[in-house]
Amino acid sequence: METLSSPPCPNTVTVRRNPHRKARPTTTTKPLVPPSSSSDRPEIAPFPIDDILSIQINQNPQIEPSSSSIQSPVSENLKVYLRIRPIVPLKGSSRSNVGNHNEISRNKNVWPQNPASKKKNSARETCTKNKSGEGCITVNDSQSVTLSPPPALQDSKRIKSEVYQGFSHVFSADSSQNEVYEKMVSPLVKDFLEGKSGMLTALGPSGSGKTHTVFGSPREPGMIPLVLQQIFKQTYGSNPNSRLFYISMFEICSERGKGERIFDLSPDGADLSMQRSTIKGLQEAIISDTSHAESLIASAILKRATAMTNTNRQSSRSQCIINIRSVVNKLDGEVDLQSNDAILTIVDLAGAEREKRTGNQGTRLLESNFINNTSMVFGLCLRSLLEHQKNPRKPLQKHFQNSLLTRYLRDYLEGKKRMALILTVRSGQEDYLDTSHVLRQASPYMKIKLDSLPDSPFLFKGVATINKLGATDSDPLESDSLEKSGRTHRIMQSFAKATWNVLKEYRDKLRLAESEIQNLSENLRNEKTKYFELEKELKDLKCCCACTKENVADDNIVEVDALYVEECPNLKRSECDNTPEKDDFISRQVEDVISQVNARASPSSSKEIEHDKDEQEIHTTFFSIVAEECANKMSSGNKINADKLDESKISAVVHIFSTEDVTGVCSQLHRNTHPARESGYPGMSLKGMCVVLNFGSVASSSSLVEMVNDNTISTSNLPEMLHKEDEVAESEIQNLIENLRNENVADDNIVGVDALYVDEVNARASPSSSKKIELDKDEQEIHTTEPLELSVAPEKDVALTQDSTVFHAPTSQPTPNASCKSLKLEKPKRRLLPASSILLRDIGALDVEDETEKSRVS
Ligand SMILES: Nc1ncnc2c1ncn2[C@@H]1O[C@H](COP(=O)(O)OP(=O)(O)OP(=O)(O)O)[C@@H](O)[C@H]1O
């Protein structure tokens, strides 16, 4: 039993055909796989890229560095503000006054004015309401207005009210200059101080308050005075030497209606010329404080061309441009990469005029044409930019070439620099058409996208600096050196920015690479773990295979597996292993066989198989029982056909004993088409059965018979063919074969081992001469030890009955053949394993035929 349930093989030696190869030590190359544990890795200090990039390049304490100082261009919409001028009809602004009081009105409206004249001017301007008391424009909220036509237009032309929205801010009529500055100009100034150039342009019809907004009045300082105040307050409050500011002003006006003219509004200003976008000869004045700057501006305003029109007592007749340039002071030797030179440009355009309304004639009319033309070109440039941005396939028209103003402001009008527009309108009902025209023209400009670039191009080449006292410093060498140093500074600045950007890119790439390396390391660790697991499994499998080779010497193990698999249909063959369940299964099968054999054994027989007996004893008992059963069958007149023996060897015998369905087995055998069955073999003697039993593990009986007939096997070479352990059986079989060859088989009970022998013996034997066959001594002994005295029941056909008593032990218990018994006893090493596993074989059942019927047929 132990041999079936447990596969120990203590005396076996496993020989490895392919022993494990020892890993060759690598002496020259280092292992590619890094150490699995991170602690084994050498500590490498990371590159301090973050520390480097976190360094603030601009350490200027005066101007707080902004995170947006070094950055990619940010796209933003053009900011369009709307300011509504209060309804303030001026006294004396009648048509009769036009041209008569031009000089007087200029002096009175110029800012800054003589404080003594302030009272007079303010007294002269009285606020009166419109006759209807209502304006044409209504502020809806901070970003939208509603423009309502006067009742006359509504009736005649069926013009409806229009809503204009999307403004950056709408300043109502009661908005103060400070409010406008804070919301509109202060952000520009802040960016300007951080190195961003910007432009603010005032647009609107004549008399709508553009000049008032830009320059203001002594009581209400405009944007420029407020800008200067903020600049000096913010910059010089902390470090007066950190930056230098320059101011320049010039105007572009009509030259007698034939062309344009640029005039420098600085104290010693003169006519200027323009090359491309650069104005040559423009003087820049260094401004050190607010008062100095204000005096320069006042001087410039006095020089600006103005005239009295029907709509404005002091109407601007030129486009006025004021530039405030910020230059980083490098006297202290500091390198300020984050601060740029920047220019803040404020443009006060001359208001568009309708001839009907202004009543201009002559020079004023020529001026009006120039003003309107410039305003139109300015608008065309912005419209072209808008259309180009909407549809990039549309080329950007070169409208800027049509006026000096637009040529000068080209970068702004092409959206390359930041700018803002303030539309000034009047709210009177008589101003509806002008206001409507401005709003319709300029409101789409809100959709223009602008790139905010932190550069500060030098728009002024060959500028002359003006010292603090207003004297012109026209040293060309100094001017050149200033320009040269500025260029060098810009080059270095650009280089530093480019380097900075490259460093940032490399930092990002480095981080990406580090993350990839981490992933790869993790994958490598996982693969290594898998490799070790597989290697371990392989080792285990090899061990199992070695044991299995030793334990599967007998094929029956496989058949046990097959049966076991059949027993467990859900189990795959490959999974059939030496599991405890399988061992139990085998044990159960063996016990069943033993119990069935015991059941068929004679009650009086003492040959019952006991589990406690050792293997040798079990075998002996087992085969004795088998022999008895064979004898019983023979004694009952039934013979065992040899063709069965050809196929199933001993397994058939055991199977017959272990099955109740003898009839079925026999009928199955009859249906088989075995050629040997045609000859109708007579029954087999117990001796023959014993021989077959002994040969069961060596060769089939049919092959044995064939070999004997063919002289392939003989007494000389038979031992080689037989099992080496069955030495006693060999001698017996040799003798038997010799006797058969010598035709010494006389007794019917001593029928041949196999079909041919049985045929031969039966053919030669006759009832009278059955005892005449002389057997040699050994054979004789064999025959005499067989139970010849067993009675035969000739009429009993086993094949036609299912009575199990046929296979049970007869009443008269035969005495087991001593020789046979001794023969079995001398087979020392037959194990019980085949006895159980033979059940698994494809059994050709033992065929039993009625001898009488057989003889009748023959
Ligand atoms: N918001 C305002 N508050 C008070 N007065 C204003 C305001 N806006 C304009 N004015 C007055 O209206 C008059 C005309 O203004 P301003 O000269 O600025 O118009 P303008 O648009 O510049 O005209 P033009 O294009 O002809 O030069 C000035 O006397 C000015 O003081």
Bridge partner list, 200: 346, 420
Instruction: Identify which has the larger pLDDT, 753 or 222.
Output: 222
Helices 580-600, 615-635: axis angle to 10 degrees equals 40
Residue 841 in any domain: the answer is: no
Question: 312 in ligand 1 pocket by Cβ < 6 Å?
Answer: yes
| pLDDT reported for residue 150 | 85
403 is in an annotated binding site: no
Nearest to 760 by CA among 776, 774, 744: 744
The beta strand positions in 387-522, using DSSP E, are 418-426, 449-452, 460-461, 464-466, 472-473
pLDDT band at 424 (very low <50, low <70, confident <90, very high): very high
pLDDT at 99 over 50: no
If you take atom 8 of ligand 1, which residue's CA is the nearest one? 209
Asked if residue 669 belongs to a domain, the reply is: no
Whole-number pLDDT of residue 158: 75
Tell me what pLDDT residue 724 has. Answer: 45
pLDDT in tens, 302-358: 888 877 777 777 788 888 999 998 887 765 555 444 456 788 999 998 887 777 766
Kindly state whether residue 802 falls inside one of the protein's structural domains: no
CATH number, position 273: 3.40.850.10
Higher pLDDT, 701 or 161: 161
The span from the CA of 252 to the CA of 637, in Å, is 145
N- to C-terminal Cα separation, the chain: 47
pLDDT (0 to 100) of residue 799: 35
Q: What is the pLDDT of residues 608-647, one digit of tens each?
A: 445 445 555 655 555 555 556 555 554 454 444 444 433 4
Q: Is the CB of 283 under 6 A from ligand 1?
A: no
* pLDDT at residue 533 in the model: 93
Residue 494 resides in a domain: no
Of the two residues 177 and 770, the one the predictor is more confident about is 177
pTM of the predicted protein model: 0.47
- The pLDDT, as a whole number, for residue 629 is 56
pLDDT of 354: 75
In terms of pLDDT, which residue wins out, 841 or 340?
Answer: 340
- Distance in angstroms (rounded) separating the CA atoms of residues 21 and 24: 9
State what percent of residues in the chain have pLDDT above 70.
Answer: 43
55-69, 97-111, 186-200, 342-356: the lowest-pLDDT one: 97-111
87, 128, 179, 312, best to mutate for ligand 1 pocket (most atoms within 8 Å of CB): 312
pLDDT at 809 over 50: no
Whether ligand 1 lies within 6 angstroms of the CB of 698 is answered as no
List b or e across 292-301, with b for residues whose CB sees 16 or more CB atoms inside 10 angstroms. bbbebbbbbb
Tell me the mean pLDDT in the region 537-550. 80
Which pLDDT does position 847 carry in this prediction? 40
Residue 418 Cα to ligand 1 middle (Å): 26
The pLDDT of 841-852, averaged and rounded, is 40
CA dihedral angle for residue 564, residue 570, residue 571, residue 573, rounded to 10 degrees: 80
| Pocket test residue of 211, 355, 358, 370 for ligand 1, highest count of atoms within 8 A of CB | 211
The answer to whether the CB of 424 is under 6 A from ligand 1 is yes
Residue 7, pLDDT above cutoff 70: no
Give the C-alpha separation, 322 to 334, whole Å.
30
Is the beta carbon of 211 within 6 A of some atom in ligand 1? yes
Residue 302 amino acid letter: L
Position 662 confidence tier, pLDDT thresholds 50, 70, 90: very low
Q: Ligand 1 center to residue 286 CA distance, Å? A: 29
How far is it, in rounded angstroms, from Cα 268 to Cα 675? 140
Give me the helices (H) in 110-215, please: 115-124, 151-157, 177-180, 186-193, 210-214
What does pLDDT average to over the chain? Answer: 64
Residue 181: predicted pLDDT: 94
Asked if residue 415 belongs to a domain, the reply is yes
- Hey, what are 719's tokens? 């031992």
The pLDDT of residue 167 is 92
359 in a known ligand binding site: no
Query: pLDDT confidence of 756, banded at 50, 70, 90?
Result: very low
Counting ligand 1 atoms within 8 A of each CB, the residue from 81, 83, 85 with the most, and so the one to mutate, is 85
Least confident of 185-189, 332-336, 658-662: 658-662
Q: Dihedral through CA 115, CA 117, CA 118, CA 119, nearest 10?
A: 120
Residue 537 pLDDT:
92
Is the predicted pLDDT of residue 481 greater than 50, yes or no? yes
Whole domain around residue 327: which residue ranges? 138-450
Domain count of the chain? 1
Name which residue sits closest to atom 30 of ligand 1, judged by CA.
212
Q: Is 50 exceeded by the pLDDT of residue 257?
A: yes
> So what's the pLDDT on residue 290?
86
pLDDT of residue 271: 87
463-476: per-residue pLDDT in tens?
A: 444 444 344 444 45
Reply yes or no on whether the pLDDT at 100 is more than 60: no
What pLDDT, on the 0 to 100 scale, is given for residue 626? 54
Which of 295-309, 367-381, 574-588, 687-701 is least confident? 687-701
Which residue did the predictor score with more confidence, 238 or 717? 238
Q: Which atom of ligand 1 is nearest to the CA of 217?
A: 31
Give the pLDDT score at 14.
Answer: 55
**211 assigned binding-site residue:** yes
| The ligand 1 atom nearest the CA atom of 177 | 1
User: Contact at 8 Å (CB) between 629 and 810?
Assistant: no
E-only strand ranges, 35-150: 74-77, 79-85, 137-141, 144-147
Examine residue 251 and state whether it is found in any structural domain, yes or no.
yes
**Ligand 1 site, residue 212, Cβ cutoff 6 A:** yes
Is 28 marked as binding a ligand?
no
**ipTM associated with this complex:** 0.97
User: Considering the domain boundaries, does residue 273 fall inside one?
Assistant: yes
Mean pLDDT of 136-155: 86
In-domain check, residue 610? no
Res 515: pLDDT: 92
Q: Whose CA is nearest to atom 10 of ligand 1?
A: 209
Query: Which has more confidence, 723 or 217?
Result: 217
**pLDDT computed for residue 713 by the predictor:** 43
In whole angstroms, how large is the CA radius of gyration of the chain? 62
